[in-house]
Structure 1
């Protein structure tokens, strides 16, 4: 069966899913972000098979969101987020905020976010890059962009 090529669609969401679609890639990115940078650490944390982890890490490296860096002469590698990967983690923080609101239950969120600039515990908040006002689904109109499908 041939895999759908989401990256070729004229849709930003589909293109993003081409990079992080499926359950393992976002969790791998999360692990690398929080400091699990070695293959064995990620595998132990997620309980993922070596084969699947190898494939997913290769895909994320190919997409430019993580890079492999040697840390041993054998060779052994660790994985670090690129600038592109750090911006993708911002998306994961928004997803976590949604889950904290709608799925955390009485126990509450499993992770809190302390903002470096002010030291306060906060949540991710979408804002307009132009005016700084809230920017949520009901606050915008969708208009065709320069890359829209004709």
Structure 2
């Protein structure tokens, strides 16, 4: 079965998944945040087949999340370093870790975020930069942006209808739009 592509979607979630949605990619990025840069480091950490790791690293380079740099001429050897785009994924990774700790760690927390200077555990939350208010489902909603497609506008309208009349069944899904393309 051929993989579906979100490349033409206007949805920022779908476009982001186009670049990091494959689970190996996220694990490679996780290891890059731990400081791994070399092929053998990623392979040993992930226990991944070399051909699969090569494909994933090439995809992360093509997507602009990592940069391939030569560190040895004889023999030619390369390392994979996070770019600014890749480093900007760290808050997403932190949120993912926090969510996993909360819902999928029955044995207890294996990795947690701590303050680098004090060592105290940190409980990350998403906040509005302008107001400093914690973002929660009750006080914040998704809204269509200036470049929103008709499908995104319909999805936003669907959500508004559900909030206004939770017991009424609005007409959804909209025809066409931001579904993955073959």
Question: Structure 2 length as normaliser, TM-score?
Answer: 0.76
Aligned partners of 1:149, 1:118: CA distance in 2, in Å? 46
The alignment status of 1:86 with 2:87, answered yes or no, reads yes
The alignment status of 1:139 with 2:152, answered yes or no, reads no
CA shift, 1:23, in A, is 1.1
Deviations 1:39-79 (A, max 9, x none): 01101111111111100100100111111111111211111
Indicate how the Cα distance of structure 1 residues 135 and 113 shifts in structure 2: closer, same or farther if over 3 A, else same: same
What corresponds to 2:14 in structure 1?
A: 14
Question: Which has the larger displacement, 21-30 or 65-74?
Answer: 65-74
Secondary structure of the residue aligned to 1:59 is helix
Q: Which runs of 5+ in 1 are unaligned?
A: none
Which has the larger share of helix?
Answer: 1
Question: Which has the larger displacement, 59-68 or 118-127?
Answer: 118-127
What corresponds to 1:60 in structure 2?
A: 60
Tell me, yes or no, if the aligned pair for 1:7 and 1:16 is still in contact at 8 Å.
no
Question: Structure 1 length as normaliser, TM-score?
Answer: 0.92
Q: Which runs of 5+ in 2 are unaligned?
A: 151-182
Aligned partners of 2:89, 2:138: CA distance in 1, in Å? 23
Deviations 1:14-59 (A, max 9, x none): 0110001121000000011102211011011111111111001001
Aligned length: 149
Aligned partners of 1:16, 1:117: CA distance in 2, in Å? 32
Question: Which has the larger displacement, 127-136 or 108-117?
Answer: 108-117
Which has the larger share of strand?
Answer: 1
Aligned partners of 1:42, 1:60: CA distance in 2, in Å? 13
Larger radius of gyration: 2
Higher relative contact order (Cα pairs below 8 Å, separated by 6+ residues): 2
Secondary structure of the residue aligned to 1:4 is coil
CA RMSD of aligned residues (A): 1.5
Question: Which aligned runs of 4 or more in structure 1 are off by greater than 4 angstroms?
Answer: none
What corresponds to 1:36 in structure 2?
A: 36
